[in-house]
Each structure stands twice: as structure tokens, then as C-alpha cells.
Chains A and B, each alone.
Chain A
Amino acid sequence: MIWTVRQYGLPFLMALALHAALGLWLKGVWQPSKTESDIFKPKMVASTLLVLEPKAKPTPPPRAQPKPAPAQPDAAAQAREAAARKAEAERAEAAALAEAKAREEAAARAEAARQQAQREEAERQQRLQALADSSFLNSLEDESEDLAEAASSDAEAVAQSYRFGIYQKVVANWSRPPSARNGMEARLQVELVPTGDVVAVMLIESSGSAVFDQSAEAAVRKARRFEVPQESAIFEQYFRRFTLLFKPEDLLR
């Protein structure tokens, strides 16, 4: 017994590990292929025309040009005067004075520039605001409203997709009479039960050709059963009794 375990214990564990690893690998690799849902979803994109009219820009007010500082020649003149009057003895003082003047003046210039920048910024904001208010925001709102509407008519979209499927099936089951022509259309009333089985077909509006009408009716009967939505609310609303406009347009004649 002990001999058996010693001889085969490790190999057994190795083999088991190998198979387990293989199983895990297979599980990971062999994913179920993505199955596409059978519901045909019409690719509807809610689109609205968005007009971004270039608004008449409020003409920017004439920019206040930074005025050439009038103080500078003054300072220079003064300095010169001072230099003439007081000779070299007080040159240092004059220079200091000039420097102070210049500083003052630079400060004034900076202040002016800042004010102008502020003004421009305010203007720009205003313009943007106006633009947004006038067109863009409004259209955005409109669009979101539309989208909300579209979402609420989701049931309609589902019904539409099933209708498409039903129509496809009827066409597939239709045997074309020789007298069929392009543009012929028959309106049928079809009644279904929740399983999708056809219980009644009735001609509401003839195409003018009895043979065509009969072939359309026969196609519905032959289809026998349609795919219908599982949700009973949608079924009751759209498929318990509905009219089918049979209008095959794939005819070459």
C-alpha cells in the first residue's frame, strides 16, 4: 500500500494537475461564441439638424490704446533741468528721482494694461454667453428632448423589428403568381395568439388582382407562426391584431 502510494502518488498528482490545467485552459479559450440576438434592431439614429448660425458679433468697442506716457519727456526734461541747474553734485539724487518716476509710470502702464485685459475678457465672456444662449444650448436641449422621446418609443422600435421579421417570413413563404406586378399591394388583417400562431387572416384592401390577394393570404397562412415579443404588453398593443401591408417590390417585372 505504502509502496503503491510512493510509486504512483507523485505521477498521479502530476497527471491530475495536467488534466485540470487543460480543462481550465479549454474553459478559458473556448468561450461560447457571441450569439447575435435574433431581434432585428433597425439602426435608428435620432438626428436633428443643428444650425449654428454665426451670430452677429457685437462689435468690440474701440480698444483703448495704451496712451504714450506723457510723463517721460517730462522726467527727462526735469532731469536735464536738474542736471543743468545743480550741476554734477546732485546727479545721483536726480537719477534716483528719475528712477522713482519711471517706476511710478511703469506701474500706471501696467494698471492700464490690466484693466484693458479685464475688459476684453468680460467682452469675450459676454459674446460666448450670447452665442450659447441663442443657439447651441437651445438645440442641445431640443436634441435631448428628442432622444427622450425616442427612448419612450422603445417599445415601438421593438415592435418595428418584429414587424420586419414577420414581413420577411411572409415574403419567404410567398409563392409569386405570374400575374404579380411591381407596385401591387394588398392590406391584410392578421390576428395572432401570444405564441405567435396565426389564427385569422382577412383581406382588408384588395390589390385589384384576386390571384395576388389570395397568394398574399396564403403566404401568411403558410407561415403559420411568427416570432412575437415575449412582453405581453407589446404583443397586445401591436400584434394581437394588426394590418399587414403586403407590397413585394423585389419583382423584376
Chain B
Amino acid sequence: MPEQLSIFELIANASALVQLVMGVLVLASLTSWVMIFQRWIYLRRVSVDVDEFEDHFWSGIDLRELYRELSSADDLSGIEGMFVSGFKEYTRLSEQSSLDTEAVMQGVQRAMRVSLNREEEKLETHLAFLATVGSTSPYIGLFGTVWGIMNSFRSLANMSQATLATVAPGISEALVATAMGLFAAIPAVIGYNRFSARVEVLMKRYETFAEEFTAILYRAAHAKR
């Protein structure tokens, strides 16, 4: 029997469940790669934005001017949004003379924490998906393989002569599922680790900036009194 063991024929000859598993894995791999590319582009842009903003912020520009400039822009990056919300809160609260400095600063900090949390949420989108693909797709692939091997051994029971040639195609096609699972999982795990590390670095920078900004505002608030 001339077996054409091309990979696509192996897939085409596999049983329905194994094919379903393979389909799920291909989808998972495709989606996780979409996420990986999207996150990669997004996080790069964000870190460039942070660099630019910090340069701008520490260039000695007047903060009111910076605020006016940014609040008229409609597309704010994370760190800019944080600055704008903090500054807005500060101006709004410091206009009310009934509040003392501590209360103003608490309000500013709260506003900045909120926007920090929003930003973290934005940065971490899809990372959970990557983690899920990374941890489950080997199991899904393994399930397909086990099922395929089970089937191929069951059909072996009906044969009078059991040779390697009768089991080999079945096992080979079953193993394709595991290969696919690993293929989907490895980039997802790598992507997850890499991106969560970068998100952490970015969050550190945001927090540091928030602290520094608060310190500046605190000084300004005290100088006013």
C-alpha cells in the first residue's frame, strides 16, 4: 500500500475529533499570534510615548502650558492621561479654599491612581489569553493524540496481521495534534512572559512618575499657602 504520508493528507485522514482538536489549535495559534503582534506593536508605542513625555515633562516647561497643550489634544497616551487627570484634579481642588493641602493632595493621588489602574488594564489586555493558550494547548493537543492513538489501536484489534505499517499512519496523524499544541503553546508562553515583564517595567515607570508629579504638586500647593 503506497502511503502518501504528506502532512496535509495525515490531517485530512484523521478522525473527526482529532480534526476538531487540530482546528481549535490552529485557531488558538493564529489568535495568539495576532495578540502577540498587536501587543508587541502597542507596547513599543507606549514605551516610546513614555520616553517622549518624560523628556518633555522634565525639559522645564511650565506645567500649566503643558496641561493646556495636552487637554486640547484628543488622543492621549497613558502617561499623558495620567498627568492630565492629576493636574485637572489639582486645579479644581485648589480653587476651593475650604480644603487644606492634605485633602487636595489626597484627591490628586486618587485621581492619578484611577488613571493608573485604567492604564494597567489597557496594558494587560490579551495577556490572560496568551497565558491560557500557553498553558492549555499542549493538553488539547495531547488529548487529540491520545484519542487518535486509541482509535488506531482499536482498529488494530480487528486485523489478523498486525504490522508496524498498519499502526504507523494512525499514530503519526495523532502525533500531529501534539505538535500543533506545542506549536501554539510555545510562542504564547514566550509572549506572555515577555509582555508581562514589559508591562511591569512600564507600570513601575508610571508609578515613579506619579510619585514625582505628586511631589511637584505638593511643593506647589505648600508654596501657595
Residues of A within 8 A of B (CB): 7-8, 10-12, 14-16, 18-19, 26-27, 30-33, 35, 37
Q: Is B60 an interface residue (CB 8 A)?
A: no
> Once the chains are docked, how many angstroms separate the CA of A19 from the CA of B40?
18
* Distance A92 CA – B76 CA, assembled complex (angstroms): 114
| Secondary structure class of chain B's binding surface, majority of residues | helix
- Beta-carbon contact of B34 and A35 below 8 Å: no
Across the interface, name the chain B residue whose C-beta is closest to A18.
B33
A35-B7 contact given A10-B37, A12-B34, A14-B33, CB 8 Å threshold: no
Q: Closest residue to B7 on the A side, CB-wise?
A: A30
- CB pair A7–B38 under 8 Å, yes or no, is yes
List of A residues within 8 angstroms of B41 by Cβ: 10-11
Q: In the assembled complex, which residues on chain B have CB atoms less than 8 Å from the CB atom of A33?
A: 5
The dominant DSSP class at the A interface is helix
- Cα of A26 to Cα of B40 in the assembled complex, Å: 26
CA distance A30 to B11 in the complex (A): 13
Residue of A nearest to B26 (CB): A19
CB-CB under 8 A from B33, the residues of chain A are: 11, 14-15, 18-19
B30 interface residue (CB < 8 Å to A): yes
For B38, the chain A residues whose CB sits under 8 A away are: 7-8, 11
Shortest Cβ distance from B165 into chain A, in angstroms?
A: 11
A14 cross-chain contacts in B, Cβ below 8 A: 33-34, 37
Q: A19-B30, A26-B7, A30-B7 provided; 4 other pairs, C-beta below 8 A?
A: A10-B37, A11-B35, A32-B4, A35-B3
* CB atoms of B34 and A15 under 8 A apart: yes
- Contact residues in B for A18 (Cβ distance below 8 Å): 33
**Chain A residues in 8 Å Cβ range of B35:** 11
Render B5-16 as a binary contact track against A, CB cut-off 8 A, 1 for contact: 111110000000
A32-B5 in contact given A7-B38, A11-B41, A15-B37 (Cβ < 8 Å): yes
Known: A16-B30, A35-B2. A11 touches B7 (CB 8 A): no
Are B7 and A8 within 8 A (Cβ)? no
A32 to B38, CA, bound (A): 37
Interface residues of B (CB under 8 A from A): 2-9, 26, 29-31, 33-38, 40-42
Among residues of A, the one whose C-beta sits closest to the C-beta of B8 is A27
Give the one of B31, B33, B35, B41 with max A CB within 10 A. Answer: B33
A31 surroundings in chain B (CB, below 8 A) = 6
CA of A11 to CA of B4, assembled, Å: 35
Closest to A35 in B: B2
Task: Assess whether A27 is in contact with B6, with CB atoms less than 8 Å apart.
Answer: yes
**Nearest Cβ in chain B — how far from A31, in angstroms?**
7
A12, A16, A27: the one contacting B7 at CB < 8 Å is A27
Query: Closest CB of chain A to B179's CB: distance in Å?
Result: 10
Closest 3 CB pairs of A and B: A11-B37, A15-B33, A11-B38
Report the Cα distance A4→B41, complex, angstroms: 14
Do residues A19 and B29 form an inter-chain contact, with CB atoms below 8 A?
yes
Q: B8–A8 contact, CB under 8 A?
A: no
Distance in angstroms between the alpha carbons of A10 and B31 in the assembled complex: 13
Q: List 26 A-B contacts (CB under 8 A).
A: A7-B42, A10-B41, A11-B35, A11-B36, A11-B37, A11-B38, A14-B33, A14-B37, A15-B30, A15-B31, A15-B34, A15-B36, A15-B37, A18-B33, A19-B26, A19-B30, A19-B33, A26-B7, A27-B7, A30-B6, A31-B6, A32-B5, A32-B9, A33-B5, A35-B3, A37-B2
Q: How far is the CA of A73 from the CA of B2 in the complex (A)?
A: 91
Q: Which residues of A contact B26 (CB under 8 A)?
A: 19
Partner of A32, one of B6, B29, B36, B42: B6
In the bound complex, what is the Cα–Cα distance between A218 and B194 (angstroms)?
A: 71
Residues from chain B with a CB closer than 8 A to the CB of A32 are 3-6, 9
Q: Which residues of A contact B2 (CB under 8 A)?
A: 35, 37
In the assembled complex, the CB of A156 is this many whole angstroms from the nearest CB of chain B, namely 25
Instruction: Tell me the complex Cα distance, A30–B172, Å.
Output: 13
Tell me the smallest distance from the CB of B38 to a CB of chain A, in Å.
4
| A138–B42 alpha-carbon span in the complex (Å) | 84
Rounded to whole angstroms, the CA-CA distance of A33 and B168 in the bound complex is 14
| Cβ contacts under 8 Å, A10 to chain B | 37, 41
Q: A196 to chain B: closest CB distance in Å?
A: 15
